[in-house]
Every structure is written in structure tokens, then in C-alpha cells.
């Protein structure tokens, strides 16, 4: 009976409210960014949209910051990727103005894709090496307004809750721009919405641990593998046991 009630809640309460909120947020971002140069419109409406998504899913949220972050510093955040719910957890609760590197396919989502483009998020085309290089160059050019970037170094959501290998892109950007890398551990989004599922599992616990920044100033290409391994170990060590 409980499962039936959750399905009904998903279909008749969560989905209609969240769809309306998504369109309203996208329109707010598009209009706000068009008529004003203030970064308020790029970052704040999506932040509250994300928090609404978490609350509508009845999630219990816990956020741990290992150290305070400088609000005037740009960072490269590198979280593990458990599900689409990661976006709401990070966007809503990271506490920094952020932009995303996201898959090219997301550009096709009505309203949301255009709003993301206007807000300065970067779409990554994995179809060729040249396209990926161009995406990285565009990502660097977007970090001019005090924003940080969030990049999932695994590149895709996990199928089983376990963390995959990290790719180089995020760390190359951090090294080239001499920006601190911040490992982020996400626990619980996999239980909220697993890859391939169309419905939410309501009332789950989600946790985000924002670790201490790792400086990259003075690093070379030879230092990137060690930086990747260090970040992966930090993220992995704070995963709940069932995800290790």
C-alpha cells in the first residue's frame, strides 16, 4: 500500500509541481539574464528550484563542509555521480555560485536547455576529440564572473551505486587555470532515483560532504594523474559502505 501511495504522489503531486517549477525557473533565468547583467538571475533561481526538488522528494538533507570556502574564489568541484538527483543536491546546497559541464543531449530539453545556455553552462559533445577540446576551452572562458564549475569526473551516472574511474577533463581545466579542486562526496542520490528509473523513491536520506580544496598552482601535466587519484580517494573514503 505504501508503494502505491508513493507512485500516486510521484505522478499526481511531484511531477506536476516540479514540471511547472522547472518551466517557471527556466523562464525566470532567460528573462532575468536578458534584461540584467546581475549574476543573481544565473544562480539563485536554479538554487531554489533544486531545493524545491529535494523537498518535494521528501528527502532528508545533510551537508558537511570540511572547511569554509572563499565566496570570492572560483573552484572546480568534482563530485561522484550517482543519479540525476545529484544535480539538485549540489545546486541547492553547495553554497557557491556554480556552472555545470553537462551532456550535449540536455540542450534539447525544452526551456531548460536554453536557460542553461543563457546562464553560461557548458554542453559537452563527446562525439569527437575536437568537440571535447572545444568544450573545455569554452568552460575556461565561462569562469570570468567569480563562478565555480561543477564537473562529474566519472562522466556518467553509476549503474550500481559504485564509483567509476575519473577522467582528466576537470583536472586539466583546474591545472590550466590554477584553480583549487574541491572533491565532493555524494551519498544517497542513487537510492532516490537509480539510473533507468522513471520514478522517485521518496523520503530517502541524502548527504553531501564538501572536502578541503586542493591547490593546483604550479602543477604540470605530469601532476594530473596524481591529482586525479588523490581526489578519487578522498571522495571514495567518505562514501557509505554500501557504495564502496
Tens place of pLDDT per residue across the chain (244 aa): 778 888 899 999 999 999 999 999 999 999 999 999 888 999 999 999 999 999 999 999 999 999 999 988 999 999 999 999 999 999 999 999 999 987 777 778 888 889 998 888 888 776 555 665 666 666 666 666 678 999 999 988 999 999 999 999 889 889 988 999 999 999 999 999 999 887 899 999 999 999 999 999 999 999 999 999 999 999 999 999 999 9
pLDDT of residue 87: 94
Which of 166, 183, 164, 162 has its CA nearest to residue 242? 162
Q: Give the residue extent of every domain in the chain.
A: 2-243
| Separation CA 64–CA 243 (nearest Å) | 18
pLDDT of residue 142: 66
Q: Looking up cell 514540471, which residue turns up?
A: 19
Residue-wise burial string across 95-130, b where 16 or more C-beta atoms lie within 10 A, e elsewhere: ebbbbbbbeeeeeeeeebbebbebbbbbbbeeeeee
With beta carbons less than 8 A apart as the criterion, state whether 202 and 96 touch: no
pTM here is: 0.92
Is the domain spanning 2-243 CATH 3.30.70? The answer is no
Which residues share a beta bridge with 102?
A: 123
| Separation CA 56–CA 54 (nearest Å) | 6
Q: Where are the beta strands (DSSP E) in the chain?
A: 60-65, 76-79, 98-103, 122-124, 148-150, 181-187, 205-210
pLDDT of residue 145: 66
Q: Where are the beta strands (DSSP E) in 200-244?
A: 205-210
Burial of 49: CB neighbours in 10 Å, binned 0-12, 13-18, 19+ = buried
Is 155 strand, coil or helix?
coil
Amino acid at each position: 500500500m505504501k508503494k502505491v501511495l508513493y507512485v500516486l504522489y510521484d505522478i499526481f503531486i511531484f511531477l506536476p509541481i516540479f514540471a511547472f517549477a522547472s518551466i517557471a525557473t527556466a523562464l525566470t533565468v532567460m528573462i532575468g539574464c536578458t534584461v540584467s547583467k546581475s549574476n543573481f538571475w544565473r544562480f539563485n533561481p536554479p538554487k531554489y528550484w533544486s531545493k524545491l526538488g529535494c523537498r518535494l522528494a521528501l528527502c532528508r538533507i545533510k551537508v558537511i563542509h570540511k572547511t569554509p570556502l572563499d565566496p570570492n574564489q572560483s573552484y572546480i568541484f568534482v563530485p561522484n555521480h550517482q543519479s540525476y538527483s545529484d544535480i539538485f543536491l549540489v545546486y541547492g546546497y553547495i553554497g557557491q555560485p556554480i556552472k555545470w559541464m553537462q551532456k550535449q543531449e540536455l540542450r534539447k530539453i525544452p526551456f531548460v536547455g536554453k536557460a542553461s545556455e543563457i546562464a553560461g553552462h557548458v554542453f559537452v559533445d563527446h562525439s569527437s576529440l575536437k568537440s571535447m577540446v572545444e568544450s573545455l576551452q569554452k568552460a575556461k572562458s565561462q569562469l570570468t564572473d567569480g563562478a565555480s564549475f561543477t564537473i562529474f569526473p566519472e562522466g556518467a551516472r553509476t549503474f550500481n551505486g559504485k564509483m567509476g574511474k575519473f577522467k582528466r577533463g576537470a583536472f586539466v581545466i583546474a591545472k590550466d587555470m590554477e584553480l583549487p579542486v574541491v572533491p565532493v562526496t555524494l551519498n544517497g542520490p542513487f537510492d532516490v532515483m537509480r539510473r533507468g528509473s522513471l520514478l522517485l523513491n521518496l523520503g530517502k536520506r541524502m548527504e553531501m560532504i564538501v572536502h578541503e580544496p586542493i591547490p593546483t598552482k604550479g602543477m604540470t601535466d605530469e601532476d594530473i594523474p596524481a591529482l586525479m587519484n588523490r581526489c578519487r580517494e578522498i571522495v571514495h573514503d567518505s562514501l557509505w559502505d554500501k557504495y564502496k
